[in-house]
Structure 1
Amino acid sequence: MKHRITLITELESEMHKQGYSLSHFSKVSGINRGILSATLNGNPPKLMSITQLDTMVKALGKPESWLYELFIEQCFSEENKANWRRVRALLLRCIELNRDDLIGDILNLLMEDPIHVAHVFNLAEELVEQNQAIVAMPFYECVIENERNYHSERLAISHYRLFRARISPIIENNLRLAMVFHPFRNRLPDHFRLEALLELANIYYTVQDWNMVIACSDELNILSNIIYKQDCKRRKKKIAVSTPSFTRPLVTYYAQSHLMKFVALEHMEKYDEARPYLKEFSDLSWFEGLDDLGKEHVEKFKIYALFNELNLELLTGHTDKLVDYFELLKTHPGEALPSLLIISKAANKYDMKIDHILTYFDDIIYPNDILDYIHQARFLRDHYKNIPIGISRYINIYYQLALYQCNRNVYDEKLEKILLALETSVEKYNRGRIMDCLELFKKLREMPREHKD
């Protein structure tokens, strides 16, 4: 009662200062006189809603969220058990006003009763559905901190939401996120788990943890196969097949599971093991239930298979394939980043000359800002290629190009340009690669410098 009276006292005091009678304030605010009287003078006073408080505050000319602290105290006073409907409206209003401080206070008070964990989770999910994922993050954090059942689905989903929302261009940070989330992946609903496994594989790719890429790819393959077989059975029985909000077509997850495993084996130089996986994504026209987007992705994977087949040819010493590769790359410049990485690696391995290719793609290799370029290029390519992978490829390309220039044994302007790009990208996005560069820098110190007259 004390908190309710305190809130009412503040309102009545301000009304008195401004010379309002109950009737006059009712007209100015638009609040029914009877409701206003019951709220201010009732015994006990009628509970006030946040909408009613906002209306009164506006009529009094006070700033938005004035007296919210007292309203919160009233909501959680000893004589009032927190009413979720009332608190929910308050939380939504605090979101509108960007009052993150108050949201934290409210969530802490709510968690005194564990029953509200489910309410907070459901509100967070509603916010995500309304494209307010960032706003929902404190609510998921609250669930993670207060969920008592470690094996609950909502705990896993909360970890998943935080994991996805916090992925950034900073590769080391992403690895930490992956390590926290990884144990919860198998408790997710299938449609979330598909995306989670793909994202985990991508992150492990950026840190070159090929064994983990393979592990996630295998899990993704098993899961996508299970879902596909279930869908096929439903079609045969003429039961409607519902795909529960997959982020991408099911065929994409299936194809990516093979592509990512192929790429991991390729980087591990297990070329004979990698080769069979090319067939698994080179022609997916047999995949049932393809919609227009699925068919579009099937065509893209045909292109990826062509590139990756040439990757194997180059990396296994068939340097004559470089001409074909260059021509294919000209027609698909969106594949420049992964292709230039392989071409430069093969050039270093087999002493190939690739200066003409580097000159042709100079603008792509050295954009003014690699992050801006990757953001723009994403819209030119398929939508599941992500920012951290693009950054990782740039770092690896610069490293390989530095080796390429080193092999010419001349420290010139080209090498300085490459080293500056390498240093900048490692410093900004993946400081974990600094140690990898030490051997390169040691080699550079031993090189003769090109002198200008």
Structure 2
Amino acid sequence: MVPTTSTIRDHLAVYLSQQAMSINQFASQSGINSGTLSRVLNSQQPIAMNHLERITKGMQLPEDHFFSLYVDECFYHSPPTWRRLRPFILRSAALGRLDCIEQVVHHLLENLTYAPMLFEVAEGLFEQGQWQAAGLLYKNVSASEKYQNSERLAVCQYRLFRIALGDNQTLNLQAALLFECYVDRLDEADQIDGLKYLINVYYSLHKWDKVDELAQEMLRQATLRYDLQRHSNRKLSHEKTPEKPLCFYIFYSHLMRASVCEENMDYNSALKFVARYMDVSWVQEVDEETKRTIAQFQEWGRANTVLYRVMSGQHEVLTEYVEYISSQRDEIFVALYNILTSANRYDWNIDQILEQFADYIPYRTNFTEFGEYNQQIMADQYARFLAELAIYYLHNKRSEGINLILKSLESSARINNERIIIKCVDLFEQHRHLADDHEKQQYKFLIREVQNSNEKKTYRISSFV
């Protein structure tokens, strides 16, 4: 990179000349010591970050007006120092100037001693929710250490995996595959959380063998750590801990394995796993977070005990299940999906139930009393719910099922879920005769959107090969 011809000092000198303002006058206006300002103008002193802020404010310009020139200031017009560059990176992140961060990082990583410092800044930005800027730093630090078998490289990949997760299921899968080979290099606490996030991705993608495999590994690690914590005489307060109480991961592994059994229609085995995550006799902690965790899994256990009986075809317990979920507002949408699936499988009429819970069909939130549902899982389940509802309506000769197919197709296209897209296409073609001209046009438009999305996806993948 070649420095620009003009400098911040040049702009300031022009400003003073145009405003017929002396150094003392601008010093008073900007809040910079006049002696300091004079040395800065005469290139006898580097421009510190707080000087840049005051100069910009004194000239009544947007805060990031000189940020690009400040990169030159830090690398070409004065020796680079971390004392100036760290606050500059942080401020650039706050103002969304990723271009400036990119330039700074590019120069700094010519000297790999800066990698740990940039990693520390990335961790701070990640904690503050400034994930775009943090991701840029993690990506560059990771590239600089790609031949190192370091925990820092693994953490960078873990954070990049977290940042990459979104609504697009294909991109989520790519992110999971890239991260999975690094998970065993992480600190034990991060490993447990990393496994949880991987499980959630593979769950939303219906990769049930992977869900089961990772759930077993998470159970193994969480149990070992819990036993060590319970029996060790040394204090663990200084050690890094997972995001949630250890009992959560043990319960969650059983919950996920029950879900795998559910998908395989092995409801007896699913109930055995329910019993495992409802057994709290071994939990010794009595803190509030642990109590909330136990309450959460007890709630799910009671619901799922009845649910698996419903899903195995026991119509006589459907009323009991409906009565139970009526008081669990945050669980109603998920429960309705399960009821719909059972109704379609066993040819039940659930019109009254759908009418009773009509307000909950367009789910509005991932939040529950105990925390937040995984976003990817819920987006996937919503698209599947719409398809199941379409099947139910069409089976009962109700033409509004066509509109539900289109909604499901739109939702599944948004998250790039190919399984549901194919299901929706098959459903629409089977019932095309029920669609009016507007619905046929909408269907054609959505198919074109899917095709365009796949072409873009192919281009993105081929560009990295």
Name the TM-score class by shorter chain. 0.7 to 0.9
Q: Is the 8 A contact 1:210 1:268 kept in 2?
A: no
Between the aligned partners of 1:3 and 1:181, the Cα distance in structure 2 is 40
Partner of 2:123: 125
C-alpha displacement of 1:271 = 3.2
Q: Is the 8 A contact 1:315 1:342 kept in 2?
A: yes
Q: Is the 8 A contact 1:50 1:89 kept in 2?
A: yes
Q: Is the 8 A contact 1:172 1:431 kept in 2?
A: yes
Between the aligned partners of 1:6 and 1:394, the Cα distance in structure 2 is 55
Partner of 1:161: 159
Q: How many residues align structurally?
A: 433
The one-letter code matched in structure 2 to 1:186 is D
C-alpha displacement of 1:176 = 2.7
- Pairing 1:33-432 to 2, within 5 Å after superposition: 33-41=34-42, 45-77=44-76, 81-234=79-232, 237=233, 239=235, 241=237, 244-365=240-361, 367=362, 370=363, 373-375=364-366, 378=367, 380-408=368-396, 410=397, 412-432=398-418
The one-letter code matched in structure 2 to 1:397 is F
Between the aligned partners of 2:133 and 2:269, the Cα distance in structure 1 is 45
TM-score by length of 2: 0.83
Partner of 2:423: 436
C-alpha displacement of 1:120 = 1.0
Q: Is the 8 A contact 2:247 2:283 kept in 1?
A: yes
C-alpha displacement of 1:122 = 0.6
Q: Is the 8 A contact 1:120 1:139 kept in 2?
A: yes
C-alpha displacement of 1:260 = 0.5
Q: Is the 8 A contact 1:374 1:387 kept in 2?
A: no
- Residues 349 and 121 from structure 1, CA distance in 2 versus in 1: closer, same or farther, beyond 3 angstroms? same
Between the aligned partners of 1:147 and 1:76, the Cα distance in structure 2 is 23
C-alpha displacement of 1:442 = 4.4
C-alpha displacement of 1:256 = 0.7
Structure 1 segments of 4+ aligned residues over 4 angstroms from their partners: 2-7, 240-243, 445-449
The one-letter code matched in structure 1 to 2:320 is D
- Residues 186 and 12 from structure 1, CA distance in 2 versus in 1: closer, same or farther, beyond 3 angstroms? same
Give percent identity, aligned residues only: 27
State the Cα deviation string for residues 87-119 of structure 1 (Å, max 9, x = none): 112222323433222222212121221221211
Q: Is the 8 A contact 1:347 1:354 kept in 2?
A: yes
Q: Is the 8 A contact 2:344 2:391 kept in 1?
A: yes
The one-letter code matched in structure 2 to 1:152 is S
C-alpha displacement of 1:429 = 2.9
Q: Is the 8 A contact 1:283 1:298 kept in 2?
A: no
C-alpha displacement of 1:121 = 0.8
State the Cα deviation string for residues 151-183 of structure 1 (Å, max 9, x = none): 222222222222223322333332232222222
Q: Is the 8 A contact 1:4 1:74 kept in 2?
A: no
TM-score by length of 1: 0.85
- Residues 21 and 448 from structure 1, CA distance in 2 versus in 1: closer, same or farther, beyond 3 angstroms? closer
The one-letter code matched in structure 2 to 1:326 is V
- Residues 5 and 241 from structure 1, CA distance in 2 versus in 1: closer, same or farther, beyond 3 angstroms? closer
- Residues 435 and 339 from structure 1, CA distance in 2 versus in 1: closer, same or farther, beyond 3 angstroms? same
Between the aligned partners of 1:279 and 1:229, the Cα distance in structure 2 is 21
Between the aligned partners of 2:24 and 2:394, the Cα distance in structure 1 is 87
Between the aligned partners of 2:212 and 2:386, the Cα distance in structure 1 is 25
* SS at structure 1 position matched to 2:284: coil
C-alpha displacement of 1:232 = 0.3
- Residues 233 and 413 from structure 1, CA distance in 2 versus in 1: closer, same or farther, beyond 3 angstroms? same
